Amino acid sequence: MSRTSRPPRSPRGRASAHQVLARLRGGLVTAVATALVAAATGLVAAPPASARNVVTPGDFTGYGFDQCTAPSQHSMDAWLTSSPYWAVGIYVSGASRGCTSQPNLTPTWVRTQLAHGWRLLPITLGPQAWCTTRERYLHQVRINPSSARTYQRARSQGHAEAAKTVRAARHLGISAGSTLWYDLEAFDTAPTRCRQSALWFLSSWTRELRALHYVSGVYSSAASGLRMLDNARVNRHSRYTMPDRVWIADWNGRADVSSSYVRSSGWTPHRRVHQYRGGHDETYGGVRINIDTNWVDLGRGSRVGRERAHCGGAASYDYGHYGTRRVGDRGALVRTLQCLLTGRRLYSGRVDGVYDAALGAAVSRYRTSRGIPADTTAGPRTWVALLSQGSAPLSKVGSASVAVRRLQRGLNAADRAGLRVTGVFGSATTAAVRAYQGEHHMVRTGVAGSGVWRRLLAGTP
């Protein structure tokens, strides 16, 4: 991962209503952050300080990238709307970083990315293993291999590095409950003292992060640091404190969280990141960045709650194809139409699957409201607009929401390959969005942005 060659105060007196509300919001953030730490670690954590930013990365399954220097805001905006990525690794601390100067990385930068939905993966690259073979690290402070008092010096270093990282994270506005990652680059794990000191360093790193109300993550080579941790987890599980989450560097080209070096029994479910491709250039929105590519699966993963039954279970909204319906027709699709228009308060009749004059009049009123010529027939334009109508958030791989359900239904109504309506934006939805964009002469990004939503909401099949 390390690219070493590239480089207002409140007035005194009685609290106002705004202050009371702020305190209540702060208490809610505290409770949420505490619960996240407890869930990730299995330990009960003391309440952390409140923060305005959301806990990162939260629940997410999707693509991420990391790059030595935090990209500019222009680059982040271009990639937000054009790339499949929605998680980004950023180096926030560590004297061994190849990019100690981070001109873009400020509290404002962090706040802006989180507000745009980016999941941040804050990284520290401090002391490396004593037996590292990388020339640059040999001239820097390394993990002390002394075995005196059970590797006390290595443990002290891990404790100090965790405290330093938390200070950096707090300065940037990275909230308690967020995951902070230690980057331990590849090294020779054969020498006992080198291996043991690295384990004690990481154990102390994890303990101190938990004490400070953050979640512990460790990035390392699958063949060295991660295999070492996994063996310690299995063979000496009571001696060391294992990190809560792992970031596996295994450039096998597979966008998943598996590695032949790490047993499938560890750090599952949803506790892994897999860096599956090393440094290379990618360009989105006219912006080229040299990145490593990752598959991220953390928190509870990308998921959406179960949908409530429509019209008491009388109608389903999910079909691979929505045919034209008109006055005189009967059946399940007519019930769907009745239910959708009931929700829009345009139809007050029975949801009985009978397309009568009252339903036809409701269809005509709806079409007019969406700028579609008045008609009592429900054709493709009516179905596309009805099924997709609602908020129009940016959606791409990793999105999970009711809006994604509407997107999938709208694309199905536009005859886009019979998507399974899950509410989770995956590869099939990406392909359907690209096809829709191509047919409407848009850039085929696979990201459902304002252009896609505008056409769907207007009823464009």
| 288 & 319 share domain | no
Whether residue 165 contacts residue 210, with contact meaning beta carbons closer than 8 Å, is answered with no
The predicted pLDDT at position 43 comes to 38
Residue 12 counted as domain residue: no
Q: Would you say residue 18 has pLDDT above 70?
A: no
Residues 6+ positions from 66 with CB-CB distance below 8 Å: 1, 88, 89, 90, 121, 123, 275, 291, 292, 294
Residue 30 has pLDDT above 50, yes or no: no
Look up residue 341 and give its amino acid. Answer: L
Q: Judge whether residue 32 has pLDDT over 50.
A: no
Residue 103 lies in a domain: yes
Residue 225 lies inside a defined structural domain of this protein: yes
Crossing angle of helices 73-82/107-115, nearest 10°? 10
Q: What is the pLDDT of residue 2?
A: 54
- DSSP class of residue 119? E
Three-state secondary structure of the chain: CCCCCCCCCCCCCCCCHHHHHHHHHHHHHHHHHHHHHHHHHCCCCCCCCCCCCCCCCCCEEEEEEECCCCCCHHHHHHHHHHCCEEEEEEEEECCCCCCCCCCCCCHHHHHHHHHCCCEEEEEECCCECCCCCCHHHHCCCECCCCCHHHHHHHHHHHHHHHHHHHHHHHHHCCCCCCEEEEEECCCCCCCHHHHHHHHHHHHHHHHHHHHCCCEEEEEEEHHHHHHHHHHHHHHCCCCCCCCCEEEEECCCCCCCCCECCECCCCCCCCEEEEEEEEEEEEEECCEEEEEEEEEEEECCCCCCCCCCCEHHHCECCCCCCCCCECCCCECHHHHHHHHHHHHCCCCCCCCCCECCHHHHHHHHHHHHHCCCCCCCCECHHHHHHHHHCCCCCCECCCCECHHHHHHHHHHHHCCCCCCCCCCECCHHHHHHHHHHHHHCCCCCCCCECHHHHHHHHCCCC
Are 95 and 195 found together in one domain? yes
Question: What is the distance, to the nearest Å, from the Cα of residue 289 to the centroid of all Cα atoms in its chain?
Answer: 20
For residues 281 and 319, membership in a common domain is answered with no
- Decide: 424 and 303 in contact? Cβ < 8 Å: yes
- Judge whether residue 245 has pLDDT over 50: yes
| Nearest alpha carbon to residue 225 among 178, 278, 269, 262 | 262
How many domains in the chain?
2
Q: What is the pTM of this model?
A: 0.88
* pLDDT one-digit tens code per residue, 393-413: 999 999 999 999 999 999 999
For residue 12, is pLDDT > 50?
Answer: no
Whole-number pLDDT of residue 100: 86
At position 381, the amino acid (one-letter code) is R
Position 65 pLDDT exceeds 60? yes
> Per-residue pLDDT averaged across 155-177, rounded?
98
Q: Give first-to-last CA distance, the chain, whole Å.
A: 44
Least confident range from 98-102, 164-168, 287-291: namely: 98-102
Split at pLDDT 50, 70, 90, the class of 238 is: confident
Q: Phi first, then psi: give them for residue 73, nearest 5 degrees.
A: -65, -40
Is 277 part of a structural domain of the chain?
yes
**pLDDT value, residue 26:** 44
pLDDT value at position 416? Answer: 66
- pLDDT bracket for residue 51 (50, 70, 90): low
CATH assignment of the domain containing 415: 1.10.101.10
Average pLDDT over residues 351-372: 97
Quote helix, strand, coil % in the chain, to nearest 5: 40, 15, 45
Q: Which domain holds residue 106?
A: 17-298
* pLDDT per position as a tens digit, 132-156: 999 999 999 999 999 999 999 999 9
> What pLDDT, on the 0 to 100 scale, is given for residue 59?
98
Read off the pLDDT of each residue in 47-52 and give the average, rounded to a whole number: 48
| Identity of residue 339 | C
Quote the pLDDT of residue 4: 43
Looking at the structure, tell me whether residues 32 and 163 fall in a common domain.
Answer: yes
pLDDT band at 236 (very low <50, low <70, confident <90, very high): confident
> Is residue 222 domain-shared with residue 137, that is, in the same domain?
yes
- Higher-confidence residue of 47 and 55: namely 55
Residue 229, CA distances (Å) to 256, 258, 299 in order: 20, 15, 21
- Across the range 46-69, mean pLDDT stands at 82
pLDDT at 28: 42
Q: How far apart are CA 220 and CA 230, in angstroms?
A: 12
Q: What is the C-alpha to C-alpha distance for residues 283 and 294, in angstroms, rounded to an integer? A: 16
Whether 49 and 187 map to the same domain: the answer is yes
Q: How far is 442 from 440, CA to CA, in rounded Å?
A: 6
Q: What is the pLDDT of residue 157?
A: 98
* 262 within domain boundaries: yes
pLDDT recorded at residue 321: 87
Mean pLDDT of 240-244: 97
Distance between CA atoms of residues 84 and 428, nearest Å: 13
Question: What CATH number did the domain enclosing 156 receive?
Answer: 3.20.20.80
Residue 119, pLDDT above cutoff 90:
yes
Burial of 268-283, coded b for 16+ CB within 10 Å and e otherwise, reads eebbbbbbbbebeebe
Is the same domain home to 241 and 341? no
Average pLDDT over every residue of 35-64? 65
Within a domain: 273: yes
Say if residues 447 and 83 touch (Cβ distance below 8 Å).
Answer: yes
Q: For 182-232, what is each residue's pLDDT tens digit?
A: 999 999 999 999 999 999 999 999 999 999 999 999 999 999 999 999 999
Q: In this structure, which amino acid lies at residue 411?
A: L
* Domain C-terminal end among 272, 298, 324: 298
- pLDDT above 60: residue 276: yes
Instruction: Give the residue from 267, 298, 329 where a domain finishes.
Output: 298
Range with the lowest mean pLDDT among 164-173, 235-244, 345-354?
235-244
Write down which residue in 253, 269, 298 finishes a domain. 298
What average pLDDT does the chain have? Answer: 90
Percent with pLDDT over 90 in the chain? 86
